[in-house]
Structure 1
Amino acid sequence: MLAALLLDHPFPDDEPLLHTADRMLTAGEARAGVTELAQRLRAGDVRPGTAVAVRLPNSPESVIAMTAIWSAGAVFVPVNAAAPAAEAERALEAARPAALVEPAPDGGLHVRHLDGAVRTYPDGTAFLTWTSGTTGTPKAILHTHDGYLELLDRVLGPLRGRGPSGRPPSPNLIPVSLALNSGIYNALFGLRAGAALVIMDRFRPREFADLLARFGIRSTVLPPAAIVTLNASDVEALSPLRYVRSITAPLSPLHARRFTDRFGAFVLNSYGQAEVGEVIGWTAADAKAHPEKVGAAGRPLPGVAVRIAAPEGEIGPLWVRPPRMASGYATGEQLADRIDAEGFVDTGDLARVDADGFVWIEGRAGDLINRGGNKVFPEQVEEVLRLSPAVAEAAVVGAPDDRLGEVPVAFVVDAPGAPPAPDEALAKLCREHLVAYKVPVAFHRVDALPRTEVGKLRRGDLVRRLA
């Protein structure tokens, strides 16, 4: 069970285990906190198979609450502390937990037992997470203890045993919310690897750099939005960082190369979805052997089969078959609707595989722009626009056109401190790198691009803005 990752952690009781910028809990203190909270949950209305929601800011207490719920035999339901009240209520209505863990006035943890119908979940259910909601209403995904352990070992397997004998892993830095699948995964990944955890309450470039140096962190994970922020920041060095695993959303090869060139840390892109876990990624050996592939998602992980529905080497729909996947949705949708007779899952993304077996993610199938029969991949145009020193960010969407059906339109965030580039200059830049039909017909300036909390672009918001 996942609770064992903390309760049976290899650190002795007096070893520091959970850190923040200004606090520390030893392994013994963390285990005592888990035991005490689990006893309180059992003494209330929490029974095995029922759910307990947690609404806490990023902190050691978030990890303790998650583990205590599993120790009590219950299902963990994370609720983002930064979410509006209406969104939090929708999450509670969907999950129907027996109790809610929230901050107590004295700084501890308060357990509030909830009225109403309580749902009982199938045996082995560990926790719920929600899809990003970029393409529709978020769905609650059911994760099992066995399935998530398999996912952790699927990724850890190629990485284990590569360092000097007896050398402990560097602490795992967690810069994303522990209410999100990416934050939960990062915390459990560290514990499974036998590492301490360093928890950020929110991402700040300078604090991130300070924590790397203080804890001697050699590898970490970051969402693309954080990588882009660091590229544009005044942070000069990220020593001793050597590898960054990009998570939650595709990172453009351009930003990956910029980060590697600037900070000397290789960006290991990866690919996965909440329903199937991480299925494509990098190893340190691949990074050393193929530095020219920076920006690729990597190669299929052990036990994962990948299929591109297109001729060899060309771009097409990406299907994956992992050894295990999420058990389903708590919100009524059917995961089986996306699975074919051979067990492959339709990811909804477009990709290609090169001659060395590296997978390159080209974008969402639903984002592809059909300009009079010519296909325009928005990410390709966006990468060209970001070549301009006057452009901090760019997003391209399809706008309705009576003659061609759709035409590409760009939304641009100007780079701070630089004079804005005229539309004509941006169009000329695109013509230098792209065929004519891929050049945007219009450029709109915006202060920021609409994104989810983990940095995924909300293209639908931009399409609605055009209307």
Structure 2
Amino acid sequence: MRALGELLESRENDDAPAVYVGDTMVSRAELRTSADALGVLLRQAGVRPGQAVAAMLPNSAATVAALFGVWSADAAYMPVNPRLTDAEVARLSQAARPVLVVTDEAGAGRFPGLPTVVATDDGWRTPTRTVSETHAYDPGVALIQSTSGTTGRPKSVLLRHDTVLDLLEPVLRNLLGSRKTPTEGAPRKAPMPNLIPTSLSLWAGIYNVLFAFLVGAPVVLIDRFEPEGFAQTVKRFGIRSTVLPPAAMVMLCDAPRVTSLEPLRIVRSISAPLSPLQARRFRDRFGVTVLNCYGQTEIGGEIVGWNAADARAFGESKLGAVGRANPGVQVRVADDTGKALAADAQGEVQVRTPSLSSGYADGSQLHDRMTDDGWFRTGDIGHLDADGFLWIDGRLSDMINRGGLKVFPAEVEEVLRLNPAVAECAVVGVADDRLGEVPWAFVVLHPGADATDTDTELDALCREHVAPYKVPVRFTRLDALPRNDIGKVLSPRLVALAEAAAPR
């Protein structure tokens, strides 16, 4: 069985940088030494193959060492965001049943009853007691990764070593525009550092660490995204391509002191749908090509995306599409019966990939999301065009059923963004006694924007561009939309706000 830990095992260029954090550089040899030391401690503490080890750490070299250290003990890595509340940490622990936690001084004590390994400036502190929990997963499970929790409580997905590797390699081939793997062909020059602007508690962060190590590149970690600091880091390390969530691109466009992202040339949008308006706005402001992509935690990684060749050939005409299927991946759009639809017809996006996750930590499987003929139901609504580009139109769970008529929030949000006063917006479905559900819009205005007649203007704008039943019944202004760490809007919080404000 192939294992992700092998990405750190190569002893070529041991002195080469592996991780940059601020002014600190950690070499590959130093990182491996730290990871191996943690693995020894875990085994000595009684961690057995397949058992879950939680890690609650900020973005640091120790976090990357913890990832590979857990794998060196043949355990499953369970990242936990330090920003979660104690109640949220308890729910994740109850679902995934970690046997030990790796954390820093700030996190010690947040997992009552579990043995704890504390990361220090000098290495790892020996746990004070051994493991007593006996629960274990299949040893092939590499990660227990929490979903984003944007439409409900997060679920813990079991990702296998071979699943992630099976999807990482086709992504690389797609980006290179070649069928060759990184080890084939003539020797290449040292790869550019991989700048990671997201938390390493998130799948997007871990995924991009693994992608960097697959090509032999060092990673540059940012603990918290901040526009000016990001721009300075891009310039310092000569970053020509990177990944960004849509919310980060909006923040950069709105930052008056960020006037250049040189030498950046390509940004790959990750973690959430990027609207065509925001893609065009980012490109026009910074002269940077934006490449979309698509995947889900349950799938194990990216399965659809753009490469530079597609951007040159189709860029403007396909702005807003998430790309074409990566090598080895099949994508179709199907109706409610599972019948594949013709080009440009809207339905549920279904995929076939080399492998899928092993289900969820609570024991539930993916069988209920598989069709009888072997396709995985993503829960996303979209369409495929004649050139094979996939367009995501919304989520089945987000769809608003207004008296039997379908309303997709993304379509209405794109119209609302046409108003120059609107900085960001979100549309959610709110329960209605007569119609079942109605759309309700939450809007954040740009600083200094005139809000006097904004609601009337937004209503008129919607009526100009969409059918009357898609027009929101209310426009509520907020100072900011509630988001998670990768910028996805937390819809349940908006629904709760709407329900609290609705007339009784």
Answer yes or no: same fold by TM over 0.5: yes
Q: Answer whether contact 2:71 2:142 (CA < 8 A) is retained.
A: yes
Of 393, 396, 412, 2:424 maps to 393
Q: What is the CA deviation profile of residues 89-123 of structure 1, one whole-angstrom value per residue up to 9, with x for unaligned ones?
A: 33233332332111248534335456642322213
Q: Is it true that 1:199 corresponds to 2:221 in the alignment?
A: yes
Q: Answer whether contact 1:101 1:111 (CA < 8 A) is retained.
A: no
Q: Which runs of 5+ in 1 are unaligned?
A: none
Map 1:49-448 to 2 at 5 A: 49-103=50-104, 104=118, 106-107=120-121, 108-112=123-127, 113=129, 116-160=132-176, 166-234=188-256, 235-276=258-299, 277-292=301-316, 293-310=318-335, 311-312=341-342, 313-420=344-451, 421-448=453-480
Q: 1:165 to 1:254 in 2, by over 3 A?
A: farther
The 2-side partners of 1:397 and 1:31 are apart by 47
Partner of 2:502: none
Letter in 1 for 2:16: E
Q: 1:309 to 1:74 in 2, by over 3 A?
A: same
Other structure's SS at 2:4 match: coil
Other structure's SS at 2:84 match: coil
The 1-side partners of 2:126 and 2:483 are apart by 32
Q: 1:408 to 1:87 in 2, by over 3 A?
A: closer
The 2-side partners of 1:141 and 1:106 are apart by 29
Q: Answer whether contact 2:40 2:73 (CA < 8 A) is retained.
A: yes
The 1-side partners of 2:487 and 2:292 are apart by 15
Q: 1:52 to 1:402 in 2, by over 3 A?
A: closer
The 2-side partners of 1:358 and 1:169 are apart by 29
Moved more, 373-382 or 113-122: 113-122
Letter in 2 for 1:171: P
Deviation at 1:278, TM superposition (A): 1.5
Deviation at 1:154, TM superposition (A): 2.0
The 2-side partners of 1:9 and 1:178 are apart by 24
Q: What is the CA deviation profile of residues 154-209 of structure 1, one whole-angstrom value per residue up to 9, with x for unaligned ones?
A: 21122247799623321111111111111110100111011110011111111111
Aligned length: 466
The 2-side partners of 1:239 and 1:464 are apart by 42
Deviation at 1:386, TM superposition (A): 1.2
Other structure's SS at 1:366 match: coil
Deviation at 1:215, TM superposition (A): 0.8
Q: Which runs of 5+ in 2 are unaligned?
A: 105-117, 336-340, 500-504
Q: Answer whether contact 1:9 1:194 (CA < 8 A) is retained.
A: no
Q: 1:105 to 1:47 in 2, by over 3 A?
A: closer
Partner of 1:44: 45
Q: Answer whether contact 1:412 1:446 (CA < 8 A) is retained.
A: yes
The 1-side partners of 2:36 and 2:210 are apart by 18
Of 476, 481, 487, 1:449 maps to 481
Deviation at 1:463, TM superposition (A): 2.0
Q: Answer whether contact 2:54 2:78 (CA < 8 A) is retained.
A: yes
CA RMSD of aligned residues (A): 2.0
Q: Answer whether contact 1:371 1:406 (CA < 8 A) is retained.
A: yes
Other structure's SS at 2:233 match: helix
The 1-side partners of 2:273 and 2:465 are apart by 21
Deviation at 1:245, TM superposition (A): 1.2
Moved more, 304-313 or 239-248: 304-313
Q: Answer whether contact 1:268 1:294 (CA < 8 A) is retained.
A: no
Deviation at 1:358, TM superposition (A): 0.8
Q: 1:27 to 1:429 in 2, by over 3 A?
A: same
Other structure's SS at 2:143 match: strand
Moved more, 186-195 or 305-314: 305-314
Deviation at 1:400, TM superposition (A): 3.8
Deviation at 1:397, TM superposition (A): 2.0
Deviation at 1:374, TM superposition (A): 3.4
Map 1:24-35 to 2 at 5 A: 24-35=25-36
Other structure's SS at 2:397 match: helix
Q: 1:132 to 1:266 in 2, by over 3 A?
A: same
Letter in 1 for 2:375: F
Letter in 1 for 2:170: R
Q: 1:43 to 1:268 in 2, by over 3 A?
A: same
The 1-side partners of 2:480 and 2:177 are apart by 43
